[in-house]
Amino acid sequence: MLLSFGFVAHPSCQQLLAAIWYDGLPGFRNRHIVFKLLLTLLVAVSFPILSVIYLVAPKSCLGNLARKPFIKFLCHSASYCFFLFLLILASQRIDYNHLFGSSENSSAAELDPDQKERRGPPPTPVEWAILAWVIGLIWVEIKQLWDCGLHEYCHNLWNILDFITNSLYMCTFALRTVAYFQVEAEMRDPRLQHIARHLQRRDWDAWDPTLISECFFATANIFSSLKLVPIFTFNPHLGPLKISLGRMVIDILKFFLLYCLVLFAFACGLNQLFWYYAAMRQQECDSFKSNPERFGAMQESCDHKYRSFASLFNTLETLFWALFGLIDLNHFVLKEDHSLTEWTGKTIFGSYSCCAIVVLLNMLIAMMSNSYQYISV
């Protein structure tokens, strides 16, 4: 392995790789930095024109230029940055009626300021553009899978991230479509048409397709932004950081598997210890909510801290956030005079903190530091 690294790092190999990378741009590396920036910006801005020429006339002068590695890299990077710009526009809830000057729709939007927050909204122009980009990204992944095969494709973790991201986008579009036709069907029902589309967001069902699609879309946006990391390979200073990040991801996965075992073990114990008290506080809260005169005296039972160990999932969630110091010992204080149960719960929580924070977290830091040192050397 070290021999292969030394061979690739040899000046002659680096010179040959640079000549292949900047093919079609003679003397580009020796130009002034201002010229490099202007040419890079020009190619990045004109990527739609170069893409159309590449499709229409691939054998032409500009078509051949678009095939060059550096030009192709700039076009792909500019296209993806524009895709991220569309995602930002979609998340800012811009009023496209005012933007495109539709006076009729603008007046309707002024009369109903919550029009964009209705159930099953129709897609906006930006969302149609995002759909077109996602279809193109899926086609790129299909071609890559066809060329390199399933085994080689899955060997690259960035391909797995692309597959997950594209799947989330397609789930988003599918759920938006389901929500739109569901609301349209309700509008045709005389009993539901007065509330189908005009129902306020706070009154929506927790599993409304529009809400689920927004969760998928938000997660996909995060993964799409992380996809910019491979572009760092182009920079000699940021490239090693990207390689180190790839090795650190493997270390994090190893740590996470061991941490999940520890988390599940302690969560089972704490849930077994405190589930009865959480259920009792919930019953008190529900019963006294219907009695306003006594609700003030028993309002403490409705405190969210008593739900921390109501179920195994709640306990797992509580212990996970305890890893970041967001859970204190007040969550283990009981209204009943059961001092032994309180002491046992605090002892279990202290043991979990020692195992997860003192031992496992520092072990993860040591593993990540070792991976970074391996790449930097």
- pLDDT value for 35: 83
- pLDDT value for 267: 94
What is the average per-residue pLDDT within 142-161? 87
Q: How many CB atoms lie within 10 A of CB 176?
A: 23
- pLDDT value for 101: 52
Averaged confidence pLDDT in the chain: 81
Q: What is the DSSP string of 99-137?
A: HTT-HHHHHHHHH-TTGGGSSSPPPPHHHHHHHHHHHHH
- pLDDT value for 280: 84
CA distance 118 to 179: 11
Q: What is the reported pTM?
A: 0.75
CA trace torsion 33, 38, 42, 43 (10° rounding): 0
- pLDDT value for 377: 60
- Residues 226-268 have pLDDT tens digits of 888 877 777 667 777 777 777 788 888 888 899 999 999 999 9
Q: Which residue has the tokens 């229409």?
A: 56
Query: Per-domain residue ranges for the chain?
Result: 15-94, 123-234, 255-376
What is the average per-residue pLDDT within 89-98? 70
- Residues 268-295 have pLDDT tens digits of 999 999 888 888 888 877 777 666 666 5
What is the average per-residue pLDDT within 140-154? 89
